[in-house]
Amino acid sequence: MTTCEVSLRNIAAGYARRPVLRQLTASVPQSAITAVVGPNGSGKSTLLSVLAGVHPPTAGTIERSRSSRPCFVVQRSAVSDALPLTVRETVAMGRWAHRGPWRRLTAGDRRAVDDSMERLGIRELASRQLGELSGGQRQRVLVAQGLAQEADLLLLDEPTTGLDVAARESIATVMRDVAAEGTTVVHATHDLAAARESDHCVLLLDGRLIEEGKPQDVLTESALREFWGLR
């Protein structure tokens, strides 16, 4: 039987005067990849924030099987380009959860930073300023920063949006590899091909769960027609 990393029961969450998630019951299998899909505004990012623990639900219960702090990699647009940081410094910020911002990095920290940059293919960018990177390069830096955190639960909000095919594939490979190593990965995505390659799929509409299960059982032709108007 699959172990649950997170189990959500009857969750309600939203913003001032705007309820978003309603009576949401869903599960996130451990050491596997879960895709959260749904049309624009269906509540995918809100669900990730709830899983990250940065957005407290107004009702319902969340059960977690492991206690380490989740890592939440937000959309590219949410990160300022103006920060005077190099790629390496940005990825190293992923270690703050372990060491705090002012402590020197240990050899183990530096290994985690190098390994994350290697996995995302950005080692040659290490000394470049964040502000001088292309959007796709910056996105890979943010995912590398998330990896460097070595959290049990890695939450990625639209990690492949705006990326070219090679970068999309490298992120898909990274998600597969870290899941095989024991990390639980949840990604919100509009990339239905990436969703199909996941182990578990959660389909949202208007903040409600429509279906969860194996991608082929959730992303059926009739679901694509009904919820995205696709033929």
Q: Tell me which residues touch ligand ATP (CB under 6 A).
A: 15, 18, 20, 38, 40-46, 188
The nearer residue to ligand ATP, 46 or 184, going by C-beta atoms, is: 46
The single-letter DSSP state of residue 206 is: T
Which alpha helices (DSSP H) does 64-205 contain, by range? 87-92, 96-99, 107-119, 135-148, 165-180, 192-196
The nearer residue to ligand ATP, 45 or 149, going by C-beta atoms, is: 45
The nearer residue to ligand ATP, 45 or 137, going by C-beta atoms, is: 45
Side-chain half-sphere exposure of 194, counting CA atoms within 13 A? 30
The nearer residue to ligand ATP, 47 or 91, going by C-beta atoms, is: 47
Sign of CA dihedral 136, 91, 75, 206: positive
Work out how close the CB of 32 gets to ligand ATP at its nearest, in angstroms, rounded to a whole number.
Answer: 21
Work out how close the CB of 76 gets to ligand ATP at its nearest, in angstroms, rounded to a whole number.
Answer: 12
Work out how close the CB of 45 gets to ligand ATP at its nearest, in angstroms, rounded to a whole number.
Answer: 3
The nearer residue to ligand ATP, 15 or 102, going by C-beta atoms, is: 15
Structure tokens at 75: 């959309």
Mode of pairing for the β-strands spanning 71-73 and 4-15: unpaired
Work out how close the CB of 15 gets to ligand ATP at its nearest, in angstroms, rounded to a whole number.
Answer: 3
Work out how close the CB of 84 gets to ligand ATP at its nearest, in angstroms, rounded to a whole number.
Answer: 27
Closest to 33 measured CA to CA, from 184, 190, 169, 191: 184
Find where tokens 């995205």 sit. 228
Residue 151 φ/ψ region, left for φ over 0, alpha for ψ in the -120 to 50 degree band, beta for the rest: beta
Work out how close the CB of 79 gets to ligand ATP at its nearest, in angstroms, rounded to a whole number.
Answer: 15
The nearer residue to ligand ATP, 45 or 145, going by C-beta atoms, is: 45
203 and 219 Cβ atoms separated by less than 8 Å: yes
Structure tokens at 186: 């949840």
